Amino acid sequence: MKQHLGKLILLILFTAALFSANVSLTVNTPAIYKGDSASFTIRATGDDITFPKIEEIEGFPVHQSGTSSSYSNINGKTSKSIAKTYRFSPTKSVTIPALSVMIDGKSYTTQAKKISLLEPKAGKSGDPYILELKVGKKELKVGESTELKITYKQRVDAKVNRVALSEPKIDNFWVKKIGKQKQYVQGEYVVTEYRYLIFAQKSGRFHIDPIVGNIGRAVQSRMGGGFFNDPFFNSVTTQLEWKKIYSNPLNLTVQPLPDNLELYGDFTILASVDKRVVDANKPVNLTIRAEGVGNIDDVQKFDLNIDNAVVYADKPVIHSSFKNGKYQGEFIEKVAIIGDRNYTIPAITLRFFSAKENKVKTVTTKPIAIEVKGSPKTATAPAKVETLEKSEKSKEQPKIESQNMQKSIVKVEDKKTKYIYLAIGFILGALITYLLLRLQKREAKSKENGIIKQIKNAKDDKKLFDILLPYANESSVISDTLKALEENIYKKANNKIEKQRLYDYFFDREESEKTQQ
């Protein structure tokens, strides 16, 4: 019996040694609110100390935030003490497990410690500071907006040096601040209002966490006079003392729209062009404009696919405002279209869920036909041309052999004269056509030289894009360059543009025209 009792005492002493004063774990924040960080400190005393590697606790990343050391001398024996502080941000109550620390070749274990996550409590009437969270509607449809209002109330007799409120961050909602803050007096409180619009992006039930307010009050502290320990030498310092306050939480329900639509409101759409008749390979500028009341920011870029044409679209521009309690605006997309034959810009459709009519609605533009001058035309039946002989025969009247010979000679001479005039007219026409073609080729040559000069002088990607756009259909050299320029301009890419390829292309084009001449 005594042997068993002795073993038990040894076990207790051994366990106590493991949790001895050589190592300790202190929780600096036994309880926290969601969003706050927790910290704990491990302190160990010895000559050779190895701390554990702590990367996470219950899935929450942990990082070391500081180290301190101190030395002591007791009865002529010097000892070293090291303290390491760690921080992490749990979103639930957690337990810091027992951790092992090696000290002078022995393993010592800390005790497990718990950190509790507290539910924040909103202020109540009579408190010096109150934070409230309200929404216009708690039940929405996808794409629908409602006003969210944050109200901060400060009692008139409460002294505050600084107030910092967190911005609302709501998963699956788009948040936009509207207007300026509004301040007024309500009873014994000075009230400040902050207004936001929130747009539902997904259906479901959603929880909005309380808004956090940090209240800073100036607190004075007196520092001693040091060696003289005299109030005369004391100094007074001022620092901010912070206190956190919380608003109430909110719960919202969002219903899905039919056909997986995301656009909610009431809109119109219009398509217009700067010209309906254009030269071949010259751009037509199309403007698509959608406007109305609702989440105009969710209107997506329109992608056009037009046969026999190349399409280049700018990044859409959206202008929005909050008027008369409604969010409204306009969406503008500009598109350049180049073709070498007639084409039609198709109807452009916008589908949304109408807030007024409470149903799915579609608005559509009208197709726009573009005539391209110099484009290939549909073949037509050749005009009926009668030969001169047949024409003459149709006009001839029966002759009497006994007619006067002089009349016959005159008729033959008239017939020869007609052939002569016809030949002269043909020669003159051919000569004029030749001269016109020569003139056009000279103009084309001059134009090509001008294009090369313009390319050399282009100072940025946008100017070079505009210069090359009329030649989009001529060569892959041009189309590939335009694609690279478009990515640089609208997608913030960093494609290198090789101007030498462009110089070579237009130079070869010029030489080819010289050979044909």
pLDDT, tens only, 167-190: 888 889 999 998 889 999 999 999
Whether residue 141 sits in one domain with residue 90: no
pLDDT for 192: 96
Q: CA 161 from chain center: how many Å?
A: 38
391 within domain boundaries: no
Output 229 or 56, whichever has higher pLDDT: 56
Same domain, 140 and 251: yes
Residue 508 has a pLDDT of: 79
Pick the range with the lowest mean pLDDT from 138-147, 194-203, 274-283, 441-450.
441-450
- Domain end (from 350, 373, 396): 373
What is d(CA 177, CA 199) in angstroms, rounded to the nearest whole number? 12
Q: Indicate whether 404 pLDDT > 90.
A: no
Q: How much is the pLDDT for 414?
A: 53
Split at pLDDT 50, 70, 90, the class of 493 is: confident
> Does residue 437 belong to any structural domain of this protein?
yes
Mean pLDDT value across the chain: 81
pLDDT of residue 301: 94
Q: Are residues 133 and 250 in the same domain?
A: yes
Residue 202 lies in a domain: yes
Tell me: do 135 and 241 sit in the same domain: yes
Q: How confident is the model at residue 385 (pLDDT cuts 50, 70, 90)?
A: very low
Domains contained in the chain, number? 4
Query: Average of pLDDT values for 390-414?
Result: 41
Answer whether residue 5 is part of any domain. no
Looking at the structure, tell me whether residues 239 and 143 fall in a common domain.
yes
Mean pLDDT of 118-132: 88
pLDDT surpasses 70 at 389: no
* Chosen domain end from 340, 357, 373: 373
Residue span of the structural domain in which 445 resides: 430-517
Same domain, yes or no: 270 and 368: yes
Q: Is the pLDDT of residue 435 over 80?
A: no
Split at pLDDT 50, 70, 90, the class of 418 is: low
Answer yes or no: is 449 within a domain.
Answer: yes
- Segment 417-428 shows an average pLDDT of 67
For 415, phi then psi, to 5°, come to: -65, -40
Q: What is the pLDDT of residue 254?
A: 95
Q: Which parts of 332-404 fold into alpha helices (H)? A: 388-395
- 295 with 315, same domain: the answer is yes
Same domain, 108 and 178: no
Does residue 268 share a domain with residue 248?
no
Question: Would you say residue 358 lies in a domain?
Answer: yes
- Looking at the structure, do residues 233 and 148 belong to the same domain, yes or no? yes
**Co-location of 274 and 224 in the same domain:** no
Which of 255, 289, 317 delimits the end of a domain?
255
Q: Which two tokens stand for residue 184?
A: 């007024």
Question: Does 386 map to a domain?
Answer: no
Rg from Cα positions in the chain: 44
CA count, 13 A, side-chain hemisphere, 153: 19
Asked whether residue 235 falls in the same domain as residue 277, the answer is: no
pLDDT of residue 15: 44
